[in-house]
Chain A
Amino acid sequence: GESVGLHLPTLSVQEGDNSIINCAYSNSASDYFIWYKQESGKGPQFIIDIRSNMDKRQGQRVTVLLNKTVKHLSLQIAATQPGDSAVYFCAETRTGGATNKLIFGTGTLLAVQP
């Protein structure tokens, strides 16, 4: 069935290092992907998105890479800061249909060590 999963449930990095959070998706028809950040006690917050016609998209300190060949998505955070500590999860969907829904992964906990 359709699913979105994460390779690493917990990622611990040193402050200032770069972080890479990975996500595998199984629906080759998905054409839109989103990364969310969820801090403790808060709702998910949109970080960055990417469409399937792109391989890479950059934001402020974040980059999302999409490899459609192996159905893999990654989120890179440059110069990780303590405020980046949160659960990150990806979501996928196929746009243009009548009832397409976002499918969410279970999340990766990013722990930034000072």
Chain B
Amino acid sequence: DAEITQSPRHKITETGRQVTLACHQTWNHNNMFWYRQDLGHGLRLIHYSYGVQDTNKGEVSDGYSVSRSNTEDLPLTLESAASSQTSVYFCASSDGRLRQETQYFGPGTRLLVL
């Protein structure tokens, strides 16, 4: 079955380290998204991509970067991890025809920055 996976599921890192969270989908969706979820804020968009080589900033993109070298993967990199980036991160994907149609989410990565 097609699916979307994230790895690692849990990560502990130290302030200042570079961290990369992986996202892989097998639906052949054009659109992929990264969100962070924090209490009281709901899901906030970090970066998104509408296709290979396309990346866009979301509302909370500072300190994060993404790259899209193929359809299946959109890795999220924290260039220099900060304690404020402790959060649960979700990757999502959607069909490309209408850009923002139903998004399907991965299981999440829980990141703790010490």
Majority SS of interface residues in chain B?
loop
Q: Which residues in B have their C-beta under 8 angstroms from that of A32?
A: 100-101
Q: Which residues in B have their C-beta under 8 angstroms from that of A57?
A: none
What total of chain B residues lie within 8 Å of the partner, measured CB to CB? 21
Does B12 sit at the interface, judged by CB under 8 A? no
Contact B42 A104 (CB under 8 A): yes
Q: Which residues in A have their C-beta under 8 angstroms from that of B40?
A: 106
Contact A99 B107 (CB under 8 A): no
Task: Tell me the complex Cα distance, A105–B48, Å.
Answer: 19
Contact B41 A99 (CB under 8 A): no
Contact B103 A95 (CB under 8 A): no
Task: Tell me the complex Cα distance, A100–B43, Å.
Answer: 15
Contact of A43 among B99, B101, B106 (CB under 8 A): B106
Does A34 sit at the interface, judged by CB under 8 A? yes
Does A102 sit at the interface, judged by CB under 8 A? yes
Does A71 sit at the interface, judged by CB under 8 A? no
Contact B107 A42 (CB under 8 A): yes
Contact B43 A101 (CB under 8 A): no
Does B104 sit at the interface, judged by CB under 8 A? yes
Q: Which of A1-49 contact B (CB under 8 A)?
A: 32, 34, 36, 41-46, 49
Chain B residues at the A interface, C-beta cutoff of 8 Å? 40-43, 45, 48, 56, 58, 90, 92, 98-108
13 further interface pairs, Cβ-Cβ under 8 Å (given A43-B90, A106-B41): A32-B101, A34-B103, A42-B107, A44-B90, A44-B105, A45-B105, A46-B102, A89-B43, A95-B99, A102-B45, A102-B103, A106-B40, A106-B42
